[in-house]
A = this chain, B = another copy of it.
C-alpha cells in the first residue's frame, strides 16, 4: 500500500495503536490483545464484569477546537466515570475511532491523552477499530466488582442523605464561555476537557453508599434517573452545591445555581447513603482526597425538588442536556 507523507492506511494506524497500547500496559489477564479478531481476557474469580460504552461525536459532545490529547483523555474519562458510578475497578478498554483522514500526528496526540489516563488506572487497551468517517470516538470499558458489592441507580432509600463528590458546574461554565465566543477560563476549560473519573472514591463508597450515578447530563437530570429507578423522590439545596473558587468568583448567584444544577460533563459522583454513614464518608473523603458534600435528602414520592438556602422553591429553566432535545 502506498501512502502520502503524514498519512497512513488503516492497517498502519492499527499497527500504531497496537504498538503504543502494548508498550503502555501489560496486564497478566490479557491473553490476547490488539491484533486478532477479538481480545481474549481473564475475569478474576468471584468478580462480576462491569461494561460501559459511550460515544463522543464532533460538535455534539465536544467543541471542534478540542485538542487531540484532550479528546483522547475525555473519551476514556466519561466511560471510566460510568465504572466509578458502579464502584468498579477498571481493567480493559476498546476504542473505535472514526476519522476523516488518516492523520498519524493527530492519532499520536489522541493516544497521548487516552494512554495518559488509561495508565493512571492500569487500564489496558485491548482492541478496537479505525474507520473512515466523521470524527467520532466510541469507547467501551470493562471492570470488576466483588460479587457482593457494587453501586447502582435503583438502591436509594427514603431518608438517605444525598451527596456529591468534588465540585459542580465548571465544565458547563467553560462550555458557556466557549459558546459565547470567548476563550474559556483555562481552569474551567481543563475541567471540561480533562475530567477526573472518581474511580477510587467509587470503589471506597461501594461499601457504604446505596445508590450512585455519575453526573454527566446535569445533577437534576441524573438525580431524577436515580429517583425513577429507586421509586423515591429527592429534595436538594441548590445553595449547598459545591463550586470551585473560580466559578464562584465569576458568576452571579443565579447563573451559578443554573450551571451547577443542570450543567453536564462534570463526571462527579452523586450518591445516597444512610445518615449513619456520615463519619465513614468523611473518612473516605480524607483518604481519597475527594471533597464530598451533603446536598439533600431522599424523600417519599417522586421527582427532584430543589430549594435555595432559605428554603424557597427553585426551578431550573431546563433539566440537563438531551442530545436529541426538541
Contacts and interface: CB of A to CB of B under 8 A. Distances in A.
Interface of A: 1-4, 7-11, 13, 31-32, 35-43, 45, 48-55, 57-58, 60-61, 81-83, 85-86, 88, 92, 94, 96, 98, 101-102, 126-134, 136, 138, 140, 142-143, 145, 150, 152-154, 213-214, 229, 319, 322-326
Given A9-B324, A86-B36, A51 B133 contact: no
Contact of A1 (B42, B48, B142, B322): B322
A99 to B, nearest CB: 8
Q: Which 6 A-B pairs have the closest CB atoms?
A: A57-B133, A38-B52, A37-B82, A102-B324, A37-B85, A138-B138
A279 B145 CA distance: 45
Contacts of A96: 53-55, 96, 138
A40 B145 contact: yes
23 contacts: A9-B325, A10-B323, A11-B322, A36-B152, A36-B229, A37-B81, A37-B82, A37-B85, A38-B83, A39-B50, A39-B52, A41-B49, A51-B94, A53-B96, A53-B127, A55-B131, A55-B138, A94-B140, A98-B136, A130-B323, A130-B324, A132-B323, A133-B136
A10 B49 contact: no
A51 B319 CA distance: 36
A153 to B, nearest CB: 5
